[in-house]
Structure formats: structure tokens, C-alpha cells
């Protein structure tokens, strides 16, 4: 049996919850097509790095990044 670290379990949970938030709670059109691909959490669980993808190339990715930065406080509060 493979044992996973707590950071691995927390990162999976953050990815699930963040995907749900994007689907249900955020109305920003820049984030409608964003897909969370991975979340990396530091060992002490203080920092999380979120990776995402969007269809449409670099311009759409830059717009989605601005959307995530705009919604950062809301997302942190819900998480």
C-alpha cells in the first residue's frame, strides 16, 4: 500500500474544491474555460501553487491569470 503525505492529500482536496468553486461560484467570464490541472502544497501547508490550462492560446491564458488574480481574495475566503 502506498502512503501519501498530508500535503498530497490536501493538494488533491484543494484541487477538487477549487474546481467546484470555478464551476458554481465564480461568474467571471475569463475563468469559464479554465481547468485546474494540478495543485502543489508546501510540506508545512502554508503555500499552494495552482496550475491551470485554458483553450485558446496565450491571450486566453493571460486573461484567465488576470481573472484568478482578481478573484484571489474570494477564493481564499471560501477555501
Encode pLDDT of 32-63 as tens digits.
Answer: 899 999 999 999 999 999 999 999 889 999 99
pLDDT range class, residue 4, cuts 50, 70, 90: confident
Which of 39, 27, 32 minimizes the C-alpha distance to 64? Answer: 32
Ordered alpha helix ranges (H), 1-79: 6-24, 57-70, 72-78
pLDDT range class, residue 3, cuts 50, 70, 90: low
Amino acid at each position: 500500500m502506498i502512503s501519501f503525505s498530508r500535503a498530497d492529500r490536501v493538494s488533491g482536496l484543494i484541487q477538487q474544491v477549487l474546481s467546484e468553486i470555478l464551476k458554481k461560484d465564480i461568474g467571471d467570464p475569463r475563468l469559464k474555460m479554465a481547468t485546474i490541472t494540478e495543485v502543489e502544497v508546501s510540506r508545512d501547508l502554508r503555500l499552494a501553487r495552482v496550475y491551470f490550462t485554458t483553450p485558446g492560446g496565450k491571450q486566453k491564458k493571460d486573461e484567465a491569470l488576470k481573472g484568478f488574480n482578481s478573484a484571489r481574495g474570494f477564493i481564499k475566503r471560501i477555501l
